[in-house]
Structure 1
Amino acid sequence: MFIRLLFLVLLVLNLGVAGWIFALPRQATPTSAVPTGTTVPQLELLSERDQDVEAASAELAAAPDTPAAAGNDVCKTIGPFATQADQRAALTAVTPLVNRIRPRETRATQSRGWWVYLPAFPTRERALTAARALSARGMRDYYIVTAGDQQNTISLGLFRDQVNAERRRAEITALGLKPQMTARTEEMPQYWIDYATRDELPIAWRPRIEGAPELREEAIACF
């Protein structure tokens, strides 16, 4: 009887101790968590740093010419080419010989001959009267301008050669009239290629370009 009572007492004590331990608050295990937003520095090997330095050096070596280096260039232009197709062909041919190259277009005034005429009359009737007078004297190569800025002008001929134009003017002047002579001009495109080199010695571009004898080379400001 005594032993059974002792066993019950020990059992109650064990249950009480177990309940007390279970009821104790548990403490969180400390961790090494990093606050959000904090950058953690990474280890960098010396070998990786050396590779970065070598890569940067290679980029600098491959970088294009600096303005200071470009300031030592010699720049010239070749042309004029008759067409853009000729210009493009020359651009392709000369590119391997130079540091920089570009196409360029300009406008040039070219002579288209000479025009001999009687200045515009106040009315069409006056112009017709003058034309009949020319016809009566054996002149056939003329016509009356019927519209535009030169309306009622009598054209006496277009001439490529200035000498022939002056002869025609003298012929009409001998009839007692006052013809005038004006140069005919037209703006035409001209095509060039500009290039830059480091050497003042001329480059051998002529053997590479068709029609080279008709082209010229001139010094220009560098670009």
Structure 2
Amino acid sequence: MRWVALLLLLINIGLFWWLSSSGQDNVRPVQEGKLPRVAEIKLIDEWVNGQAEPREDEASSRLIVDATEYAEGSSDALMPPGSGQAGPESAAACYGIGWFNEQAEALAYRNEMLVRFPSLRFGGVQERSEELEPFHWVIIPPLPSRDEAMALYRELVNKGIEAYVVPSGENENAISLGLFRSRVSAERILSERQAENIDATLVKFPRNRISYALVFEGVPQPELQGQGLPPAKSDAELQLIEFSDCEGVATAKKNP
């Protein structure tokens, strides 16, 4: 019995030694308070399962295949702009009704049209900026500060000269002596002020006109083409407008 007990003890010691020596190779030491990096965890996991680390070219090809499968199998796959096929709505026809001087006026007319023609499909409001002939502006060039501009303004007003201080913009702190449609009138005032030893000059005052058109999807109804457009409550002379591009709010192809 003693020999049997001794033999069992030796077997247990040998088994314990073998398990301890084989398990140490699968453990990577980690410093206390420091987590292993993701790459280290992945490499340890592949080594334990008997898989060799993939080569760089194999890893790259795997990424390409995975990305292709995702793009083919998921409707949420990202695609570069312009790579998708244009749908039928991208080339849809549209037309406009305008031009209105005020946006509120255009929207009021839209409400009337939708009541009279319920099948209309409103697409938005097109804004157009039209450059107009500039006015002629007689001014004293901008002064260094607002205080100096106000002091000169009071001096001019005390002399009975109509003037005001430009509050902002490119000519901030200038003194306006008159804004004229006629260049002849502007030059006459300029001569008078220069005769009074006022350092005035003549500049152009740029201006533009903003107008608005209603945009509707599809093609104009036969009633609009044959009988004409219902008149607006304002003095706006309305007409059908053809657009070259109906994606979003279009750009006018032909202006009135």
Q: Which category of TM-score, normalised to the shorter sequence, fits these structures?
A: 0.3 to 0.5
TM-score (norm 1): 0.46
TM-score (norm 2): 0.41
* Structure with greater contact order relative to length (CA < 8 Å, sep ≥ 6): 1
Larger radius of gyration: 1
